[in-house]
Amino acid sequence: MIRKSVLIACSMVALISIGCAASSGTTVSDDSEKALGLRKTDLYSEKSETAPVKTDYSRPAPGTSKKFERAYVNAPPMIPHSVEGLLPIKQGNNACLGCHMPEVAKTMNATPIPVSHFTNYRPTTVFKDGELVKEGKKVGIQSDDKLGNTSDIKLAKPKKLNHLYQGRFNCSQCHAPQSKTKPLVDNTFTPDFKDASLKGKSNLIDVINEGVDIK
């Protein structure tokens, strides 16, 4: 712990020294500046090589692309196909549902929306007779802090729905297209799946409540 503290302190001193030198007009070497960020040019000019790599989101059409493996168990999968004309998702228009709803996904060669997206985990909350009622139980008018610390308020039992839960309607909130560009930083992360089948599907509905107190 002492060695780590000393290392952190030395790093902070070095950064402060560089900042002070720059603000006082003292020349700071290019090597030091380049080491401060991902850009490989100095901080005082905008050279052509400073421009970021152009992103390229062009992908095969839906139904013809190769699926990406998930980054980890139950990670929201990346969108492997072109999203041209599909985004943005609007209240009255969600083009994703035309292919990914479970009843049509197989015929469209698409990943079906999982059961967890047709489940409401939020407790039914209403304001009745001047009091806040959760799951049929009066909890009174309390601040968020007090409500969060009330021991008898527990997560409601999941409610299965026959339609897509509106909290999951905005697909692009979690799922995003993948740019075909070289990453700024090399990624050496390798996911470890105990169950190989989870590389391409979700079991969130089976594990989401693990360790959670259910009412």
Question: pLDDT per residue over 69-106, tens digit each?
Answer: 888 899 999 999 999 999 999 999 999 999 999 999 99
Mind listing the domains of the chain with CATH numbers? 2-47 (no CATH), 52-118+161-215 (1.10.1130.10), 122-155 (no CATH)
Q: Decide if pLDDT at 50 tops 80.
A: no
Of the candidates 121, 114, 104, the residue with the CA atom closest to the CA atom of residue 76: 114
Question: pLDDT per residue over 157-186, tens digit each?
Answer: 788 999 999 999 999 999 999 888 877 778
Higher model confidence: residue 156 or residue 205? 205
The β-bridge partners of 120 are 159
pLDDT at 137: 82
For 125, phi and psi rounded to 5 degrees?
-125, 125
Q: Categorise residue 50: left if φ over 0, alpha if ψ from -120 to 50, beta otherwise.
A: alpha
Question: pLDDT per residue over 55-67, tens digit each?
Answer: 888 999 998 888 8
Q: Is the pTM of this model over 0.85?
A: no
The β-bridge partners of 159 are 120
CA distance readout (Å), 182 to 83, 195, 212: 20, 30, 40
Q: What is the dihedral of CA 75, 62, 181, 188, to 10 degrees?
A: 30
